[in-house]
Amino acid sequence: MKMKACILLGTRPEIIKMSPLIRACESLGIDYYILHTGQHYSYEMDRQFFLDLELPKPKYNLDVGGRPYRKQVGMMIRQIMDVLSKDRPDIVFVQGDTNSVLAGALAANKLGIPIGHHEAGLRSHDLTMLEETNRIITDHISDFLFAPTKDAKKNLEEEGIDMSKTWLTGNTVVDAVKENLKISEKKAEPLKKLGLKKGGYILATAHRAENVDVQKRLRGIIGGLGLVFEKTGLEVIYPIHPRAKARLEEFKIDLPDGIRLIEPQGYLDFLQLEANAKLIITDSGGLQEEACILKVPCVTTRDNTERPETVDAGINVLSGTVPEKILSCAKDMLENHRRWTNPFGDGHAGKRIIETWLKESSKS
Ligand code: UD1
Ligand code: UDP
């Protein structure tokens, strides 16, 4: 019997991390379609990534972006159920911890369609994060749980999840970086465009709701970036996420010297900006992982992380959002030599995930 997969995605990191699954479906001749919830919808947060990664257009594109969450999650569930009912797949793949993931998993669950969760088992143990509840709920209703690391698999075991449903696969972020780094070296010239030198700047991002929506924390991050420039002379390049841009305007935060805001970057440009940075300062999940893969030290402006492997490996440090702490962490990461390890796998996670699903489904 020919199997059919639905690849559900909704935000920038999901497009990137789902791309290896899409490639694997294509190379293995699997019938699949892409269902885009439309959670991210601006050209530079969405379409740009389909172009950079040369992905086919989604078969279904829902229109839920920019809505308040009280409306958005419900709208997504209803519309995803409509699509899955008329174009019924044998599995719905979801990736990560966004509202799109939660809605996709709940919709599939109500229709009795198996769910495959890539990035299962990540835990920050901070229930105030929307993403943490999204992850926990999705894991507990998934049928195939693809844990990227041993730590993530252990979290699932500790929560009493049936271990026969879990597989250690690595994270497709490694596949995506490996597949696209060389292409980006050839095609993208962001350093030239921005007048930057290799190793001569710091790359920063901040977009987490619990950081940028809280005025004190956002002021702390911006103040910290300004302090880092003042003490190191390294310019801070900050491609700004639309959520953070809106909050900077709302809170009327003035930027100190040395911080250059730029538009969100496409993946090929962004990979080059990451790979050639002296240091990354971020609250992004994906950037903590990519820093390990690209061997760039990282400071994470959070109090916790669902990616503790990066901290254990000595490549990442948690600074919180107090400016002086951001500075001391940045100095430490700039000055101290470290050992590079990549805990996120060998770059074949996408194929492994699809093959595991096919093999396990053929048993039943
Ligand atoms: C979402 C995820 C977060 C993930 C991030 C990746 C949830 C709860 N959060 O956060 O886990 O790390 O995506 O970037 O699912 N906006 C635009 N254009 C866009 C997208 C967003 O203008 O293309 C603006 C809208 O005003 C929107 C706001 O940004 O209301 C926030 O977007 P949303 O998707 O709700 O959350 P993110 O902060 O992007
Ligand atoms: N990214 C990008 N352009 C940018 C910022 C990020 O291509 O301007 C990529 C980055 O390489 C990573 C992913 O987007 O793969 C991370 O997305 P984000 O930080 O929005 O979400 P998170 O990973 O925190 O969920």
Nearest to 358 by CA among 18, 73, 29: 29
> Cα–Cα distance between 349 and 354 in angstroms, integer?
9
What mean pLDDT is predicted for residues 311-320?
94
pLDDT class of 188 with cuts at 50, 70, 90 = confident
Q: Is the CB of 47 under 6 A from ligand 1?
A: no
Measured from the alpha carbon of residue 285, the closest ligand is 2
In this structure, which amino acid lies at residue 300? Answer: T
Q: List pLDDT tens digits, range 29-43.
A: 999 999 999 999 999
Report the separation in Å between the CA atom of 284 and the middle of ligand 1, taken as the mean of its atom positions: 12
Q: Is the CB of 269 under 6 A from ligand 2?
A: no
Nearest to 34 by CA among 52, 49, 16, 56: 56
Backbone φ and ψ for 243, nearest 5 degrees, come out as: -65, -45
What domains appear along the chain, each with residue ranges and CATH number? 4-171+345-363 (3.40.50.2000), 182-335 (3.40.50.2000)
Report the separation in Å between the CA atom of 157 and the middle of ligand 1, taken as the mean of its atom positions: 31
What mean pLDDT is predicted for residues 249-278?
98
Here the tokens at position 69 are: 């969450």
Return the SS3 of 126.
coil
What is the number of the ligand 2 atom nearest to the C-alpha of 11? 20
> Cα–Cα distance between 270 and 203 in angstroms, integer?
10
Q: Is the CB of 66 under 6 A from ligand 1?
A: yes
Report the separation in Å between the CA atom of 287 and the middle of ligand 2, taken as the mean of its atom positions: 6
Helix (H) or strand (E) holding 359: helix 349-363
Give the CA distances from residue 89 to residues 73, 83, 93, 186, in Å, rounded to whole numbers and listed in that order: 21, 10, 10, 38
Is the model's pLDDT at 337 over the cut of 80?
Answer: no
pLDDT class of 217 with cuts at 50, 70, 90 = very high
Report the separation in Å between the CA atom of 29 and the middle of ligand 1, taken as the mean of its atom positions: 33
Check residue 356 and give its pLDDT: 98
Is the model's pLDDT at 220 over the cut of 80?
Answer: yes
Report the separation in Å between the CA atom of 111 and the middle of ligand 1, taken as the mean of its atom positions: 27
pLDDT class of 345 with cuts at 50, 70, 90 = very high
Residue of 267, 284, 316 to mutate, ligand 2, most atoms within 8 A of C-beta = 284
Average pLDDT, the chain: 97
Is the model's pLDDT at 338 over the cut of 80?
Answer: no
Measured from the alpha carbon of residue 131, the closest ligand is 1
Closest-CA residue, ligand 2 atom 7, reads 267
Closest-CA residue, ligand 2 atom 3, reads 265
Sign of CA dihedral 212, 214, 218, 220: negative
Nearest to 83 by CA among 69, 104, 101: 104
Residue of 8, 9, 11, 218 to mutate, ligand 1, most atoms within 8 A of C-beta = 11
Q: What residue has token string 């959070």?
A: 302
Q: 314 or 140, which is more confident?
A: 140
> Cα–Cα distance between 242 and 225 in angstroms, integer?
19
Q: List pLDDT tens digits, range 193-208.
A: 999 999 999 999 999 9
Q: Is the CB of 285 under 6 A from ligand 2?
A: yes
pLDDT class of 340 with cuts at 50, 70, 90 = confident
pLDDT class of 330 with cuts at 50, 70, 90 = very high
Q: Is the CB of 41 under 6 A from ligand 2?
A: no
Check residue 163 and give its pLDDT: 98
The residues that are catalytic are 207
pTM beyond 0.75, yes or no: yes
In which order are the strands placed within the sheet that holds 316-318? 259-262, 235-239, 201-204, 279-282, 298-300, 316-318
**Cβ–Cβ under 8 Å, residues 224 and 202:** no
What is the number of the ligand 1 atom nearest to the C-alpha of 243? 29
Q: Is the CB of 190 under 6 A from ligand 2?
A: no
Report the separation in Å between the CA atom of 270 and the middle of ligand 2, taken as the mean of its atom positions: 8
DSSP 306: S
DSSP 163: G
Check residue 364 and give its pLDDT: 75
